[in-house]
């Protein structure tokens, strides 16, 4: 995977500290001085990074829909899947009658956009089988051609919070042909490999007039085709066959166009391309499935060392403020974020744990329901700064801010962070308490 690094050039702020009165110990014998110091103006550099491709093979949640957003651009999400062969051995003494075939799926509760708008979802047969073209996996950028004509379409009404199974009737002609070929015991139904060459799979893709992207569960009991039939006898026995999603060949495909958005520069240039704070408005962007996350650095951390012969960090809390107005009913703030420690080569080496070193921190989201000014995520990064104080160059580590793994790979959860003190929303802030000792 190729990564784009985008640095937001935020204004450097000099250290400004509050301190207690000097406490002298044994001054008549040894001249020494301890000070407890607090600073909340340490410069925090935050960058937006985009990953060209995310692995979406076998995700537990898929996304389907289209949404046009002034910040994130036009985003289209489709689900492409192969189906497994249903077990069926016809009895030649029976008379079978096809009834109908349906597509069944279950909403996950995830959504992005206007849930009052109707989504039109089209079902297309795939033109060829799904194959791994980039290693043994499939990505949000993987491509499989579709047949020119759709099989059918249906209207989906997003209903946040409800996860009831839905059943959509597919064309009888498709189901009857499938059933007739099974009754004829054609070679295509001898194995999964032969069946996938008979039915390459289906794509669920949205109409681009929609205004919402919705999530759907992916499991044996949540997305499947069900074929209804009956056996003609005295009681007319009703039966059904289920063709389940083969999660080894199923993925969410994401297409996005960031033209005329603050993120347009992320899609330009070579492997690494940086925007200026003028273009980004001193904002940092984080979003799942489109592959945008953040890098956080503290370029002037070592300036603490000029305040004494010996300096030790006692505590450090990082506060990250979402931009006011960037979240709400259409796009809710994710409840969990993760911080990873990365080395100079951008390899993650650890996560940020609590003060006991046992529990991974989740950002401790605080929500200001009244004014929104004190809505923020916070991380205790004391240990991280203690380890990095006094390091330089390749020895200096950074932090990667990202959604938790499932949300980053399966949802469009998002945050826009602000780092502009002149705006009426919080600025990214680092509170440090440290001690100095002068010999």
The pLDDT tens digits of the residues spanning 380-420 come to: 999 999 999 999 888 899 999 999 988 999 999 999 998 77
Q: Which residue has the higher pLDDT, 139 or 47?
A: 139
On average, the pLDDT of the chain sits at 86
Q: 306-329, pLDDT tens digit by residue? A: 988 899 999 999 999 999 888 988
pLDDT for 279 equals 56
Q: What is the pLDDT of residue 6?
A: 33
pLDDT number for residue 29:
40
Please say if the pLDDT value at position 210 is more than 90: no
- For the segment 50-87, what is each residue's pLDDT rounded down to a tens digit? 888 899 998 999 999 999 999 999 999 999 999 999 99
Binning pLDDT at 50, 70 and 90, where does residue 22 land?
very low
Integer angstrom CA distances of residue 305 from 297, 313, 318, 320: 17, 10, 20, 25
Please write the tens of the pLDDT for every residue from 255-299.
999 999 888 876 554 444 444 344 567 889 999 999 899 989 999
pLDDT at 156: 92
User: What pLDDT shows up at residue 214?
Assistant: 94
pLDDT one-digit tens code per residue, 325-343: 889 888 889 999 999 999 9
pLDDT, tens digit, for every residue of 355-375? Answer: 888 899 999 999 988 776 789
Would you say residue 2 has pLDDT above 80? no
pLDDT in the model for residue 267: 59
* Percent over 70 (pLDDT), the chain: 87
Residues 36-47, mean pLDDT to the nearest whole number: 87
Residue 57 to residue 108: CA distance in whole angstroms: 17
Q: Which residue has the higher pLDDT, 133 or 253?
A: 253
The whole-number pLDDT of residue 397 equals 94
Q: What is the pLDDT of residue 309?
A: 86
pLDDT tens digit string along 118-151? 999 999 999 999 999 777 899 999 999 999 999 9
The whole-number pLDDT of residue 345 equals 83
CB atoms closer than 10 angstroms to residue 343? 14
**Residue 7 confidence class, pLDDT cut points 50, 70, 90:** very low
């Amino acid at each position: 995977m190729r990564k784009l690094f985008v640095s937001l050039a935020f204004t450097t702020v000099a250290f400004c500290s509050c301190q207690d009165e000097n406490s002298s110990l044994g001054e008549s014998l040894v001249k020494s001085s301890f000070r407890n110091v607090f600073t909340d103006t340490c410069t925090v550099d935050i960058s937006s990074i985009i990953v060209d491709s995310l692995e979406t093979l076998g995700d537990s949640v898929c996304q389907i829909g289209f949404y046009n957003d002034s910040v994130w651009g036009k985003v289209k999400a489709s689900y492409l899947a192969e189906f497994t062969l249903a077990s069926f051995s016809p009895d030649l003494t029976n008379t079978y009658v096809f009834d109908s075939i349906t597509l069944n799926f279950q909403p996950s509760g995830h959504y992005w956009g206007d849930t009052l708008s109707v989504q039109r979802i089209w079902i297309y047969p795939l033109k060829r089988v799904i194959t791994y073209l980039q290693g043994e996996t499939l990505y949000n950028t993987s491509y499989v051609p579709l047949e020119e004509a759709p099989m059918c379409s249906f209207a989906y009404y997003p209903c946040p919070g409800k996860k009831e199974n839905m059943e959509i009737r597919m064309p009888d002609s498709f189901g009857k042909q499938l059933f007739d070929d099974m009754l004829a015991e054609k070679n295509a139904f001898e194995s999964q490999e032969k069946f996938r060459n008979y039915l390459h799979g289906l794509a669920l893709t949205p109409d681009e007039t929609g205004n919402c992207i919705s999530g759907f569960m992916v499991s044996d009991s949540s997305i499947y085709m069900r074929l209804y039939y009956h056996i003609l006898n005295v009681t007319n026995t009703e039966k059904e066959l289920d063709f389940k999603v083969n999660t080894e060949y199923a993925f969410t495909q994401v297409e996005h166009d960031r033209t005329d958005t603050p993120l347009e520069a992320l899609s330009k240039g070579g492997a690494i391309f940086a925007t200026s704070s003028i273009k980004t408005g001193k904002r940092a962007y984080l979003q799942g499935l489109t592959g945008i996350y953040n890098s956080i650095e503290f370029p002037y951390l070592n300036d603490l060392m000029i305040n004494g012969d010996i300096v030790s960090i006692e505590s450090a809390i990082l506060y990250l403020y979402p931009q006011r107005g960037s979240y709400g009913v259409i796009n809710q703030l994710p409840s969990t974020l993760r911080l990873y420690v990365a080395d100079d080569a951008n390899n993650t080496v650890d996560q940020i744990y609590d003060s006991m070193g046992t529990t991974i921190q989740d950002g401790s989201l605080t929500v200001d329901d009244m004014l929104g000014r004190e809505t923020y995520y916070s991380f205790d990064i004391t240990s991280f700064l203690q380890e990095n104080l006094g390091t330089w160059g390749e020895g200096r580590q950074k932090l990667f801010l990202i959604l938790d793994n499932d949300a980053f790979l399966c949802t469009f959860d998002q945050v826009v962070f602000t780092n502009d003190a002149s705006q009426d929303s919080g600025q990214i802030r680092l509170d440090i308490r440290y001690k100095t000792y002068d010999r």
